[in-house]
Amino acid sequence: MDMIMAFVILPVVVCTPWHVEYQPKHVCTVRGSTIVLLCTYKYPVDRKVEKVMWGHGRKQSFDGPFIYENDNKTYKPTKFEYLGNREGNCSLKIHRVEPADAGEYAFRFETNKTDGLWTGQNGPQVTVSDMIVSMMPREHGVIKEGETVKLTCVNNCTSEVVWFKNTGPLQKWSSTLLLSNISIQDSGNYSCGPKDHNKPLSDIIQISVEYEPKNTSISVRPTPEVTRGTNVTLTCSSNANPTVDIFLWFKIDGDSHREIGSQAELHFKDADTDQSGKYFCVGNKHGRRNSTILTLKVKDIDVGMPAIKFIAVFAVFSVTLMITWCLIVYWKKNAAPKTSTAENFMAE
């Protein structure tokens, strides 16, 4: 039986040297990916291949237009890249596959004899699927710390997907990604792609986790200890998402505290001693979180003066004293005649 079959088939193969073979016959791929349609062909040995072409979307004989055509003179590189040659390999690479690229493909070649043309029938069928990523329980909106969200990646080609966070692959191959007790570190852009491509091909789902103000702190310019008359600025800063834009300032008075401002910065122009005290601030978008307490000290006396300034003031003071002394002595001398000078003055 097998022998009979072999005798029937063998002559057909031998007598038909014209042949095109596609592998595989069906290609399911995701939008944006790159695929290769593997292909081989045969022709009589006394011929030379002069023209190779690939067609798309036509069932029967090809008269163009072709998506790829190379008669050795014209070659325009496009999204269709011929990986084959003129000696039996006709593989075609398709870059950045779009839905419009779905359908049947076929290879055609022409040799150096006018009747030596051949088109390989029943070419590969390409199916193009979207890669759709979605999020539960909400598609959009605010996600607060501690919540749980589920991301799902669907496509019609493969169940083996790889997840990406900010273009870096995550070690998760299933079509769902569960983010439970979500934290700030989970914020980012999520996407997925077929595992064998290892490239994100879906849209992006942006997750931005909102959190209460944290690490609220006060900074002070120029220093927490200043002399009277200095301009002092206190700045309240806080980490939060969304960023805090409402601040409250308090000054502690004994056991109570009173509100003294509602901007990020608190300015004391020409600070006075009664502005000394303990301050704290609050960023209040999502609940309140007190800052640490800042102790501001506005000093009255000028102890922090540099030595040179002190000497200069001392010198001026001394000179003034001496001039006054001389004037008094001079005046005494003129006003009280006869008597001898210094002793009399001292006695008075």
- Please list, residue by residue across 153-176, b when 16 or more beta carbons sit within 10 angstroms of its beta carbon and e when fewer do: bbbebbeebbbbbeeeeeebeebe
**Residue list 226-245, contact with ligand NAG (CB under 6 A):** 231, 239
Q: Provide the minimum distance between the beta carbon of 190 and ligand NAG in the complex, in angstroms, as a whole number.
A: 10
Q: Provide the minimum distance between the beta carbon of 235 and ligand NAG in the complex, in angstroms, as a whole number.
A: 16
**Residue list 158-177, contact with ligand NAG (CB under 6 A):** 166
What string marks each residue from 33 to 52 as x (binds ligand NAG by CB under 6 A) or -?
A: -------x-----xxx----
Q: Provide the minimum distance between the beta carbon of 313 and ligand NAG in the complex, in angstroms, as a whole number.
A: 19
Answer whether 209's CB lies under 8 Å from 143's CB: yes
Dist CA 159 CA 163 (whole Å): 12
DSSP 40-95: EEE--TT--EEEEEEEES--S---S--SEEESSS-----SEEE---SSSB--EEE-
Considering the complex, state which of residue 304 and residue 337 has its C-beta at the smaller distance from ligand NAG. 304
Question: How many residues line the site for ligand NAG (CB under 6 A)?
Answer: 34
What string marks each residue from 124 to 153 as x (binds ligand NAG by CB under 6 A) or -?
A: -----xx-x-------------x-------
Answer whether 153's CB lies under 8 Å from 131's CB: yes
Q: Provide the minimum distance between the beta carbon of 317 and ligand NAG in the complex, in angstroms, as a whole number.
A: 24
Beta bridge partners of 118: 109
Side-chain-side CA neighbours of 307 within 13 Å: the count stands at 0
Q: How far is CA 193 from CA 28, 99, 165, 202, 270, in A?
A: 14, 16, 12, 6, 62
Tell me the longest C-alpha to C-alpha distance in the chain.
164
Residue from the set 9, 83, 246, 321 that interacts with ligand NAG by CB under 6 A:
83
Q: Provide the minimum distance between the beta carbon of 326 and ligand NAG in the complex, in angstroms, as a whole number.
A: 38
Q: Provide the minimum distance between the beta carbon of 206 and ligand NAG in the complex, in angstroms, as a whole number.
A: 5
Residue from the set 61, 78, 89, 159 that interacts with ligand NAG by CB under 6 A:
89
Residue 154 interacts with ligand NAG (CB under 6 A): yes or no: yes
Beta bridge partners of 337: none
Considering the complex, state which of residue 30 and residue 119 has its C-beta at the smaller distance from ligand NAG. 30
Q: By three-state DSSP, how is residue 10 classified? A: helix
Helical H segments across the chain, by residue range: 2-15, 307-335, 341-347
Cis peptide bond upstream of 65, omega within 30:
yes
Q: Provide the minimum distance between the beta carbon of 239 and ligand NAG in the complex, in angstroms, as a whole number.
A: 4
Residue from the set 215, 262, 318, 320 that interacts with ligand NAG by CB under 6 A:
215
Q: Provide the minimum distance between the beta carbon of 63 and ligand NAG in the complex, in angstroms, as a whole number.
A: 22
Q: For 233, phi and psi rounded to 5 degrees? A: -125, 125
Residue 183 interacts with ligand NAG (CB under 6 A): yes or no: yes
Give the residues lining the site for ligand NAG (CB under 6 A): 40, 46-48, 72, 83-84, 89, 91, 112-113, 129-130, 132, 146, 154-156, 166, 181, 183-184, 188-189, 204, 206, 214-215, 231, 239, 257, 269, 288, 290
